[in-house]
């Protein structure tokens, strides 16, 4: 039986360091025989290295090498040379600077075309192994694992719905499906005619409908949920997968009519299954981070459909303050107007931990296009949802992946998803429909600087007239990203609002 080998060659910086110490290193990867029939060409191969042993390297690595093999015939050896123009890497300088230390490594192969996330169903990965850069080291890995579909917990108060979306199937020219799970309230089976308030819980970036498993398996939450004190609300867990990352549950040029599919196909199917009465006007939204942005956006885009939203630490709601970037006027996302590296993340004490330049370099490594478009990361998702489709049928890039230079013609088209601008332009019609429906919380030391945009949204809403907005927007000093999120607190607020609904 033929064995499929991948040989990883090291970059010039590592080669130089290794040669100086007379170290020879060889890394080979095999594709397990049992997975050869599942292997798809043109996937993204990523080699992960980390010094931490408390997680799999594929879940987070400080060092990564990525390449999309061209015309890979898996019956033959494939050579990855990081000196090749099609190979990208991050963190190699850290590896060459610590030759004697122990590292843990793992290789992944991203081949699921319907889900850009690396840890998506159908993708391949190896077991974790370790090495030290010493003379004669030889590393052997095997792509012997495949990510399986999620199995939803078997529980009488958990229901799952899966439908084929006619809208998305038509857009992509192949069958596309939508999934969700529902956690039923403790009194659900006591009266088969009663309708309950319903809350759609939008996941954070790349979140899955299988998040209900963690909820029901959380002993503290589960015990509370089945007490008389727990709110009687149907809690729905949505799924956010898409070919370019999180779909944001909205219609877009690249992900297709996701908003229409949600509101006209999935939600009706869910509510028919759990006997929700639409005329009760108790249909709510909640989410944190990306989910917080989506929960707010859905309320704004569909103001008559939803009856209230709870948004925690939403992604930037004002693109003039996209973190610390003004996409409409800044020249690049890599450097600020003072010429300093633009930070992308920080601690709650204000210390920058990650630059935008490093952030995009990492997303480039994980994308089969060698740029962030199909990275499965935050900016890959932003770019696909907010931007137009390109001539190559892929999302048009807002900014250059190597220089960060912003394309302001593309930026103008992002205005269609700039929530603050949408409200400014349409307050006369949207304002009355949003009264009593907006609740936002943000930490004033948000790790992604998203609080800045929320501050400017608050300033606008405070000046509104006819009507004057009654949105509740709260900021907590020294609090970080999503720090105040709590499912129990959200559900209690929703139940309280539902009780006041006529």
Residues 447 and 388 in one domain: no
Residues 118 and 30 in one domain: yes
- What does the pLDDT read at residue 86? 83
Question: Which of residues 146, 170, 188 is at a domain's end?
Answer: 146
Closest CA to 131 of 22, 53, 20, 192: 53
- What does the pLDDT read at residue 91? 87
**CATH classification at residue 286:** 3.40.50.1820
Residues 95 and 244 in one domain: no
Q: How confident is the model over 40-56, as pLDDT tens digits? A: 989 999 989 898 888 89
Residues 85 and 38 in one domain: yes
Question: Which of residues 116, 146, 176 is at a domain's end?
Answer: 146
- What does the pLDDT read at residue 72? 78
Which residue range is the domain that position 353 belongs to? 319-416
Residues 192 and 164 in one domain: yes
- Residue 457 belongs to a domain: yes
Residues 18 and 133 in one domain: yes
- Buried b / exposed e across 188-219, counting CB within 10 Å, b at 16+? beeeeeebbbbbbbbbbbbbbbbbbbebbeee
- Residue 184 belongs to a domain: yes
- What does the pLDDT read at residue 24? 41
List average pLDDT for each run of 10 residues in the chain, which is 502 residues long: 44 45 54 88 91 90 88 71 78 68 89 95 94 64 92 97 98 97 96 95 96 96 94 97 97 98 98 95 98 98 98 98 98 96 98 97 96 97 97 96 98 98 98 98 98 98 98 98 97 96 85
Number of domains the chain contains:
3
- What does the pLDDT read at residue 4? 41
- Residue 431 belongs to a domain: no
341 bridge partner residues: 335
- Residue 348 belongs to a domain: yes
Residues 278 and 383 in one domain: no
Residue 467: asked if its preceding bond is cis (omega within 30°), the reply is yes
Angle at 104 between CA 95 and CA 356, to 5 degrees: 55
**CB contact at 8 A, 168 and 178:** yes
Could you tell me the CA-to-CA distances from 220 to 184, 199, 286, 299 in Å, in that order? 17, 20, 21, 31
- Residue 427 belongs to a domain: no
Residues 324 and 311 in one domain: no
Closest CA to 386 of 450, 333, 316: 316
- Residue 42 belongs to a domain: yes
- What does the pLDDT read at residue 207? 95
Residues 163 and 272 in one domain: yes
> 156-162 long-range contacts, Cβ below 8 Å, gap at least 24?
156/189, 157/183, 157/184, 157/185, 157/186, 157/188, 157/216, 157/226, 158/182, 158/183, 158/184, 158/212, 158/216, 159/184, 159/273, 159/274, 160/209, 161/266, 161/269, 161/270, 161/273
- In eight-state DSSP terms, residue 280 is G
Q: State the pTM of this model.
A: 0.94
Pairing verdict, β 177-183 and 234-238: antiparallel
Residues 262 and 371 in one domain: no
- Residue 424 belongs to a domain: no
Residues 135 and 26 in one domain: yes
Residues 361 and 271 in one domain: no
Q: How confident is the model over 68-87, as pLDDT tens digits? A: 988 877 776 666 666 667 88
Helix axes of 419-434 and 290-301: crossing angle, nearest 10 degrees = 60
Q: How confident is the model over 449-495, as pLDDT tens digits? A: 999 999 999 999 999 999 999 999 999 999 999 999 999 999 999 99
Question: Which of residues 146, 176, 200 is at a domain's end?
Answer: 146
- Residue 164 belongs to a domain: yes
- What does the pLDDT read at residue 93? 74
């Amino acid at each position: 039986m033929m064995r499929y080998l991948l040989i990883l060659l090291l970059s010039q910086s590592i080669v130089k360091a290794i040669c100086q110490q007379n170290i020879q290193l060889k890394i080979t990867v095999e594709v397990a025989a049992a997975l050869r029939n599942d292997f798809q060409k043109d996937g993204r191969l990523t080699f992960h290295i980390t010094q931490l042993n408390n997680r799999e390297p594929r879940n987070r690595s400080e060092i990564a090498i990525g390449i999309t093999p061209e015309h890979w015939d898996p019956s033959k050896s494939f050579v990855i040379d990081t000196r090749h123009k099609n190979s990208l890497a991050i963190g190699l300088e850290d590896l060459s600077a610590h030759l004697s230390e122990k590292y843990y490594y793992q290789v992944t192969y991203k081949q699921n075309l319907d889900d850009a996330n690396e840890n998506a169903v159908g993708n391949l990965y190896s077991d974790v192994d370790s090495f030290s850069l010493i003379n004669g080291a030889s590393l052997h890995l095997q792509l012997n694992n495949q990510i399986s579909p999620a199995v939803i917990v078997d529980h009488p108060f958990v229901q799952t719905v899966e439908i084929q979306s006619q809208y998305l199937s038509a857009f992509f020219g192949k069958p596309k499906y939508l999934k969700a799970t529902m956690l039923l309230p403790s009194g659900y089976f006591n009266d088969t005619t009663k309708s309950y308030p319903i809350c759609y819980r939008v996941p954070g970036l790349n979140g899955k409908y299988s998040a209900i498993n963690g909820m029901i398996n959380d002993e503290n939450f589960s015990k509370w949920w089945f007490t008389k004190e727990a709110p009687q609300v149907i809690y729905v867990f949505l799924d956010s997968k898409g070919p370019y990352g999180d779909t944001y549950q909205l219609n877009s040029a690249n992900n297709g009519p996701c908003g229409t599919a949600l509101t006209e196909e999935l939600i009706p199917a869910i509510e028919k299954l759990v006997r929700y009465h639409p005329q009760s006007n108790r249909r709510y939204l909640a989410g944190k981070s990306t989910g917080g942005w989506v929960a707010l956006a859905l309320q704004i885009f569909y103001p008559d459909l939803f009856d209230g939203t709870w948004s925690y630490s939403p992604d930037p709601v004002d693109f003039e303050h996209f973190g610390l970037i003004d996409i409409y006027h800044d020249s690049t996302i890599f450097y600020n107007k003072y010429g300093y590296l633009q930070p992308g993340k920080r601690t709650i004490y204000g210390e920058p931990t990650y630059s935008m330049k490093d952030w995009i370099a990492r997303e480039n490594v994980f994308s089969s296009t060698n740029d962030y478009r199909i990275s499965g990361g935050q900016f890959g998702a932003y770019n696909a949802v907010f931007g137009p489709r390109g001539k190559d049928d892929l999302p048009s890039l807002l900014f250059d992946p190597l220089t960060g230079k912003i394309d302001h013609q593309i930026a103008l088209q992002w205005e269609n998803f700039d929530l603050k601008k949408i409200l400014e332009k349409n307050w006369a019609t949207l304002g009355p429909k949003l009264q009593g429906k907006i609740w936002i919380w943000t930490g004033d030391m948000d790790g992604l600087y998203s609080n800045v945009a929320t501050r400017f949204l608050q300033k606008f809403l405070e000046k509104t007239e006819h009507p004057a907005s009654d949105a509740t927007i709260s900021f907590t000093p020294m609090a970080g990203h999503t720090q105040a999120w709590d499912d129990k607190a959200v559900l209690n607020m929703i139940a309280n609002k539902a009780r006041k609904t006529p």
